Amino acid sequence: MTVPLSRNRDYRLLWLSQACAEFGHNATTIAFPLLVLAVTGSTAASGLVLGTVATAQLVAGLPAGALADRWNRKRVLLACEAAQVVAVGSLVAVLLLDKATVAHMVVVAAVLGGCTALFEPAEDATLAALVPEDQLSAAVASNGARTSLGQLAGTAAGGFLFAAGRVLPFVVDAVTHLLSFVALAFVRVPPRDKPPAPVRHLGPEILAGLRWAWQHRTIRITTLYAALLNLFFSAFYLVVIVLAQRRGTPAGEIGVMAAMLGAGGVVGALAAPFLQRVLSPYVSIASVFWVLAVLTPVTALVHSGYLVGAIFAGMALLVPTANTTIVTQQLISTPDELRGRLSGVLALLTGVAGAVGPVLGGLLTAVVPGTTAVLVCAAGIAAVTVSVTASKVLREFPRPRVPVAG
């Protein structure tokens, strides 16, 4: 008899460990650009630090996926958490000594991005090992809620912590990753059906993952659209933060504003099982793009951080349903020995967008007024939305199994 998801000990430990880590991660994410602005006064430098995280994910993404398929995945998870404790702890030390530099923050950002690149494919593959296929959609939706909760609580806390002391968000991040390390140590990962072969030729194994993703049209098309949306939204996100600061919005209010993305994601994750039953995959995916296309330009006209936060919540509302639909189909259709590499390929494409987006946002705010920068990002999102709406591949996207309660 299948154990209900709510009583799956190892899945719960994995979930709780990452809920803790994501709280600290999001506190750092909102604090990083504010810290760079406080130290240098340069929006371009803020974009550089955020872009470094994404660039590191990009560079490490493909080999990370192959290594997650070949190495012991639990050890990969533990090593990534330990490395993040050390990296963020070093930043805490230099902040306490009042010797923080952009160069050091870039190095820390690179470590965080590299660890994320390696952690994500290992976690994705581990999830499919811990959870039966008929509960996989529910687990993916629950992980989406976890991510949104971390974003909601972490970004809100990060803004207020930064206002109280520049070092505090980073102290919290180091502690939460340490707690995550302890929780992960107790997760029991079942042995794999096919013991992984030692890594001998990393290049051909990476190419095998690329071929797998390219040959599956649905995966290829959905990943392309996700990457384009990530490009314009990540640029827009930084633009809005910089614009809010230029308008004199307090740091705590900026934190709440950013946290509302998480609030919308939490509500959306709770509604995802119902929405999966009533919406076709095409409608659930296309709706995300249309909501963003409509709401993005509105933020140029709104000066209240709290109102912008409410718009952020609306933007995030339908994302968990679309993500659950896409990720579940990807995990089910991919053999275990290729799951890490598939995740690495996806990280490559979305990583390109994530690396370029913040840099684009920083450059836009440096050369044009903030409201104009918002409209440039909105135009990009609108163009992608038109293409998504016309896509035959998305219209034929297979419907995943309905999540089993528990």
How far apart CA 381 and CA 375 sit, in angstroms, is 10
The reported pLDDT for the residue numbered 199 is 59
The reported pLDDT for the residue numbered 362 is 83
pLDDT digits (tens, 9 = 90+) for 378-403: 999 999 999 999 999 888 887 765 54
The predicted model gives 245-269 an average pLDDT of 81
User: Which among 53-62, 64-73, 123-132 has the top mean pLDDT?
Assistant: 123-132
Residue with the bigger pLDDT between 350 and 82: it is 82
Q: In this structure, what DSSP letter does residue 8 have?
A: -
Q: In this structure, what DSSP letter does residue 368 have?
A: S
In this structure, which amino acid lies at residue 41? G
Q: What is the mean pLDDT of the chain?
A: 84
Select from 145, 136, 143 the least CA-distant residue to 402.
136
Say if 218 falls within a structural domain. yes
How far apart CA 208 and CA 211 sit, in angstroms, is 5
H or E element that contains 42: none
Residue 78 Cα distances to 18, 184, 238, angstroms: 12, 7, 31
- List the structure tokens of 391: 């896509």
Does the pLDDT value for residue 243 go beyond 90?
Answer: no
User: Which among 345-349, 367-371, 375-379 has the top mean pLDDT?
Assistant: 375-379
Say if 27 falls within a structural domain. yes
The predicted model gives 230-243 an average pLDDT of 88
319 φψ region: left (φ > 0), alpha (ψ -120 to 50), beta (else): alpha
- pLDDT band for 156, please (50, 70, 90 cuts): confident
Say if 402 falls within a structural domain. no
Does the pLDDT value for residue 68 go beyond 60?
Answer: yes
3-state secondary structure of 401: coil
Say if 197 falls within a structural domain. no
Residue 165 CB neighbours (<10 A):
12
Say if 54 falls within a structural domain. yes
Say if 256 falls within a structural domain. yes
The CATH number of residue 159's host domain is 1.20.1250.20
Burial class (CB in 10 A: 0-12, 13-18, 19+), 23: buried
Say if 278 falls within a structural domain. yes
Q: Is the Cβ–Cβ distance between 372 and 103 less than 8 Å?
A: no
How far apart CA 378 and CA 298 sit, in angstroms, is 9
Query: 267: domain range?
Result: 5-186+202-395
Q: Is the Cβ–Cβ distance between 183 and 16 less than 8 Å?
A: yes
Say if 195 falls within a structural domain. no
The reported pLDDT for the residue numbered 400 is 60
Overall domain count for the chain: 1
Q: Is the Cβ–Cβ distance between 102 and 48 less than 8 Å?
A: yes
Phi and psi (nearest 5°) for 374?
-60, -45
- 3 state SS for 165-228: CCCHHHHHHHHHHHHHHHHHCCCCCCCCCCCCCCCCCHHHHHHHHHHHHHHCHHHHHHHHHHHH
Does the pLDDT value for residue 368 go beyond 90?
Answer: no
The reported pLDDT for the residue numbered 1 is 55
In this structure, which amino acid lies at residue 24? G
